[in-house]
Amino acid sequence: MRASPDNETNGTTDRVRLEVDGMHCASCASSIESSLGRVRGVQSAHVNLDAGEAEVVGEGLARDELIEAVRRKGYDARERTRALSPGQERTRIEHHQHEHARGWGRRALFGGIMACAIAAIHWGGPLIGIEVGHNVTSLWLWVMAALASVSQWYVGQAFYKSAWRAARHRTTNMDTLIAIGATAAFAMSFGVVFAELAGIEVDAPLYFGESAGLLALISLGHWLEARTTAAAGSAVRELLALTPDESIRLSGEQDERGEKVASSELRVGDLVLIRAGDRAGVDGTIVRGRSTFDESVVTGESMPIERAEGDDVVAGSVNQSAPIVIRATTAGDETTISRIADMVRQAQMSKAEVQRLADRVTSVFIPSVLGIALATFLGWGLIGGEWISAIINATSVLIISCPCALGIATPTAVMVASGAASRRGILIKSARAIERLAGVRVALFDKTGTLTIGRPKVASGDDEALRLGAALARTSNHPLSGAVVREAEERGLDIPSSDDVEERAGAGLAGRLGGDQVSMVSRAEAERMGIDLGDAPRATSSVVIREGSLVGEIQFEDEVRDDARQVVEGLRQAGLRLLLITGDRREAAEALAERVGLGPDEIRWELSPQDKLDLVRSFEGTRVMMVGDGINDAAALAEATGAGGVSIAVASGSNIAIESAEVVIPGERLTSLLDLLIIGRLGLRTIKQNLGQSFLYNALAIPAAALGLLGVHGPLFAAGAMGVSDTMVIGNSLRLKWRLARRWGDRSKGAGG
């Protein structure tokens, strides 16, 4: 909901999306997040480098204050005031990524050419009899200076503009280090030249080549980062690409041809024709026709599903067999695909808890580096008396310490993990969930709709009881009535006609068959009628009575998911403690537990929503994974998240449960839980490896530069080392994608590891 124009706090949640220009790497994004987080009313701020945007949530947010907070860090921002269709959003993201990468590619290429030309003159001159050195009368010396100046102007302007904007607001950013370092190398070279012009001999090397080369190398690193980050975050673009740009809108129910319109123009209530082979451009309900659909875009399952009149169709699903007409239930720019893509985008923008340590380090990192560089300069100059070495080594410290690798350590791993999950129909709403999954030790399962489908089926019953019961049940919409009819039809029984059927809430059905009074009632109602039924069964049952005499008893059971036992075994092998929690009776819980491989001590029955909530709280200090699907699970799901665990909703469940959970898995594939555990464990391992590598790099590189171990060409080596560190972190994150693909190629290994 938008804030009121006067920006007064109105007690409602305000969500603002900003388009941000000028970000170079994840450290830039982290700096902007910190600045936005300090604006009044802000509850959370997430910046997506890949898409060039920021999302801020809070109360009574002032747009001008948010934009100013971004500008204080040296970047430009503007509010996005209109929603984009999936196609437009995909185009915007691709354009941003293309321009971002192309800009750094041009700078890297141009700077590289300048640096190579300067090196060719400096080192190749003597081979053809040209001694450049400090000879201020040499044309080639001034050519070198001119090439370096052009490089500083064209390649360096991106760094200088950002650093200057930050300086105007009395702050620093990553570009501050680059700008000071490049300026120091460049200015020192001109200082030597001007000293020679004044007749002062200076025994110091020229760094025209290094000043151009380090800008080129840093630009190359940013280009590689832009390319690989875009690849890691491709999940959003792929999701948005699943919605067709155009759809066929019908003018009315009699219209057979319709007209092609942009899918983003579709509105609720529009009639849309979906031909065989086409993708649905909008969510809707079938009003004419029958066909099979590939809904793997949402469920992760490629098995076709039959859809007929009254059934829902999801945007992005493929109509496989026959043309159908749907009535749109969402606008073209608010489809399920759009919402899924938004969830994935939010997950990629969110931060894992382990990243908070990196953020705290980064917040004091740049001022600390400036202090170290100053100490290096003064130490070599005042104490050692080597002012040239002082400039070289201080410049090397500034260049080599840029915290790019530290900033991208978590985001790249999260992008890969959440993207891989979304391709399998799993929606991870926050990076925190990926981190917490690795530490889960207890899994709590709701029964109905989670381990079971939530649809009853007949467990036992003789043919005559089923035949008479189905005759009454045909008139009822009760789930148990539906199970009786399905079972009778599957057995091929001859179902007679019934008359005067009456349905009594809480009791059952009664009617006449061929002149006889027949009832199908609950066990309690049958006993009230004086029917002797013996011992109570473990399952829910209905009793069929004809003219006051018992015909038979039909027992029901909740239909267990085909993969429930596989999931239980896989999670147990992974070292998790399992508990089935249900509001159902003990007999029903025990019957299900036996079928899925759970023991008597792994069941809790007759639990209210409050009981489930209390049970989650009882595991204080132990990370819990709560899996549910119903409204009565919402409180427990929310508590699991708040207590440091993970909340998982089954997509076939209620909207409230889905909104309360951090992760949503496909309703047709419970084995997604095993995939999820793999993602969490390998994802956290990758994040820790990236952060460890980044901290180690800075711990070794900064002292080496300060002590002069990089030599006279230290600034150039520093720029190369920074680029290598970034590339290693990105490469390790992309390796996670390949490892997940290998794991999923061998399901026999379960979720362990």
Query: How confident is the model over 660-675, as pLDDT tens digits?
Result: 677 888 777 888 888 8
What confidence score (pLDDT) does residue 301 get?
Answer: 46
Share of the chain above pLDDT 90, in %: 6
Task: Grade residue 1 by pLDDT with cuts at 50, 70 and 90.
Answer: very low
Instruction: Indicate whether 466 pLDDT > 90.
Output: yes
State yes or no: pLDDT of 495 exceeds 60. yes
Predicted local confidence at residue 650, as pLDDT: 81
State the SS3 of 556-617. EEEEECCCHHHHHHHHHHCCCEEEEECCCCHHHHHHHHHHHCCCHHHEECCCCHHHHHHHHH
Longest dimension (CA), the chain: 126
The pLDDT value given to residue 358: 52
The angle formed by the CA atoms of residues 191, 123 and 134, to the nearest 5 degrees, is 30
Q: What share of the chain is helix, strand, coil (3-state, %, to 5)?
A: 55, 20, 30
Is 154 or 212 the better-scoring residue by pLDDT?
Answer: 154
Q: How confident is the model at residue 211 (pLDDT cuts 50, 70, 90)?
A: confident
* Single-letter amino acid code for the residue at 48: N
Cα–Cα distances in Å, from 196 out to 122, 189, 199? 17, 11, 5
Cβ(287)–Cβ(309) below 8 Å:
yes
Query: Is the model's pLDDT at 145 over the cut of 70?
Result: yes
Q: What is the mean pLDDT of residues 423-442?
A: 80
**What are the tokens at 581?**
């929690």
> Residue 746 above 50 pLDDT?
no
pLDDT in tens, 315-352: 878 887 788 899 988 887 667 666 666 655 554 555 55
* pLDDT confidence band for 300 (50 / 70 / 90): very low
Confidence of residue 569 (pLDDT cuts 50, 70, 90): very high
Per DSSP, the three-state class of 277 is: coil
User: Which range, of 37-51, 91-105, 290-304, 702-716, averages the lowest pLDDT?
Assistant: 290-304
Sheet containing strand 624-628, edge to edge, reads 427-428, 663-665, 646-650, 624-628, 442-446, 577-581, 603-604
Tens of pLDDT, residues 467-487: 999 999 888 877 788 889 999
Inform me whether the pLDDT recorded for 621 exceeds 50: yes
Residue 702, token pair as written in the block: 């900064």
Those residues whose C-beta lies under 8 Å from the C-beta of residue 735, and which sit 6 or more positions away, are 686
**Which residue of the set 446, 558, 563, 633 is catalytic?**
446
Query: pLDDT tens-digit profile of 262-284?
Result: 877 788 888 999 988 888 888 88
**CA–CA dist 210, 185 (Å, integer):** 7
Q: What residues have CB less than 8 Å from 231, skipping those under 6 apart?
A: 734
Ranges 15-29, 325-339, 613-627, 690-704, most confident = 613-627
Q: What is the average per-residue pLDDT within 401-427?
A: 73
Q: DSSP string covering 715-736, please?
A: HHHHHHHHHHHHHHHHHHHHHH
Q: Classify 222 as helix, strand or coil.
A: helix
Structure-block tokens of residue 304: 């076709």
Cβ count near 703 (within 10 Å): 13
Domains and CATH numbers, the chain: 14-79 (3.30.70.100), 94-235+344-409+685-744 (no CATH), 246-334 (2.70.150.10), 454-558 (3.40.1110.10)
- Nearest one of 123, 178, 173, 117 to 149, comparing CA atoms: 117
Residue 355 pLDDT > 60: no
Q: Is 333 a catalytic residue?
A: no
475 SS3 class: coil
Cα–Cα distances (Å) from 500 to 176, 475, 513, in that order, read 85, 10, 9
Q: Which two tokens stand for residue 74?
A: 């040296």
The end-to-end CA distance of the chain, in Å, is 43
Q: Looking at residue 463, what is its pLDDT?
A: 92
Token code pair at residue 508 = 């059952």
Which pLDDT band holds residue 94 (cuts at 50, 70, 90)?
low
CA distances from 71 to 167, 222, 641, 719 (A): 11, 21, 34, 27
pLDDT surpasses 50 at 8? no
Residue 174, pLDDT > 80, answer no
**Whole-number Å distance between alpha carbons of 748 and 555:** 36
The per-residue pLDDT for 413 is 78
Q: How many Cα atoms occupy the beta-carbon half-sphere of 380 within 13 Å?
A: 21
pLDDT > 60? residue 578? yes
Indicate whether 684 pLDDT > 50: yes
Residue pointed to by tokens 């391992």: 685
How much is the pLDDT for 664? Answer: 82
Structure tokens at 704: 């080496």
Q: How confident is the model at residue 544 (pLDDT cuts 50, 70, 90)?
A: very high
What is the pLDDT confidence band of residue 751, given thresholds at 50, 70 and 90? very low
Let me know: does 141 contact 132? Beta carbons within 8 Å. Answer: yes
CA–CA dist 443, 440 (Å, integer): 8
The better pLDDT of the pair 713, 33 is held by 33
As separate numbers, helices (DSSP H) first and strands (DSSP E) second, the chain gives: 24, 26
Question: Given a cut of 90, is residue 206 above it in pLDDT?
Answer: no
- φ/ψ (deg, to 5) at 347: -65, -40
Q: pLDDT above 70 covers what percent of the chain?
A: 77
| pLDDT value at 129 more than 70 | no
pLDDT band at residue 84 under the 50/70/90 scheme: low
Q: Are 380 and 710 in contact (CB under 8 A)?
A: no
When pLDDT is cut at 50, 70 and 90, the band that residue 245 belongs to is confident
Looking at residue 161, what is its pLDDT?
Answer: 81
Write down the pLDDT at residue 90.
61
Whether the pLDDT of residue 459 is over 80: the answer is yes
What mean pLDDT do residues 207-212 have?
Answer: 76
Type of residue at 46: H
pLDDT for 346 equals 57
Task: Please enumerate in sequence order all residues whose Cβ is within 8 A of that of 560, keeping only pairs 6 or more positions apart, or say none.
Answer: 451, 452, 453, 592, 595, 596
* Residue 353 CB contacts under 8 Å (≥ 6 apart), including other chains: 432, 435, 436
The runs of H, that is alpha helices, within 73-137 are 86-124
Q: Judge contact between 121 and 275, C-beta under 8 A.
A: no
Q: Record the pTM.
A: 0.57
Q: How confident is the model at residue 507 (pLDDT cuts 50, 70, 90)?
A: low
Q: What is the mean pLDDT of the chain?
A: 77
Q: Which has more pLDDT, 149 or 338?
A: 149
Which stretch of 337-346, 601-610, 703-712 has the lowest confidence by average pLDDT?
337-346
Summarize the confidence of residues 162-177 as an average pLDDT.
73
DSSP state of 620: T
The strand ranges marked E within 431-548 are: 442-446, 452-460, 499-504, 508-513, 516-522, 540-546
* pLDDT-based confidence at residue 422 (cuts at 50, 70, 90): confident
pLDDT band at 465 (very low <50, low <70, confident <90, very high): very high
Distance from C-alpha of 486 to C-alpha of 502, rounded to nearest angstrom: 20
The pLDDT score that the predictor gives to residue 38 is: 86
Distance CA 318, CA 294 (A): 5
* pLDDT attached to residue 562: 84
Per mean pLDDT, which range of 205-209, 299-303, 458-462 is the poorest? 299-303
Residue 155, helix vs strand vs coil: coil
- Rounded mean pLDDT of 20-31? 71
Could you give the CA distance from residue 14 to residue 25 in angstroms, rounded to a whole number?
Answer: 27
Between residues 31 and 250, which one has the greater pLDDT?
250
C-beta neighbour count of 123 within 10 angstroms? 11
The answer for residues whose C-beta is within 8 angstroms of residue 464's C-beta and 6 or more apart is: 544, 551, 552
pLDDT at 672: 85
Burial 434-471 (b: 16+ CB within 10 A, else e): bbbbbebebbbbbbbbbbbbbebbbbebeeebbbbbbb
Question: Mean of the pLDDT values across residues 526-540?
Answer: 76
Of 76-80, 307-311, 535-539, where does the model show the most confidence?
Answer: 307-311
Query: How would you classify residue 506: left for phi > 0, otherwise alpha for psi between -120 and 50, otherwise beta?
Result: left
Tell me which of 80-84, 101-105, 608-612, 667-671 is least confident: 80-84
Mean per-residue pLDDT for 64-82? 81
Checking if the pLDDT of 524 tops 60, the result is: yes
pLDDT of residue 427: 80
Of 159-173, 478-492, 586-600, which range is least confident?
Answer: 159-173
Q: How far apart are alpha carbons 433 and 662 in whole angstroms?
A: 7
Pairing assessment for the beta strands 246-250 and 42-48 based on DSSP bridges: unpaired
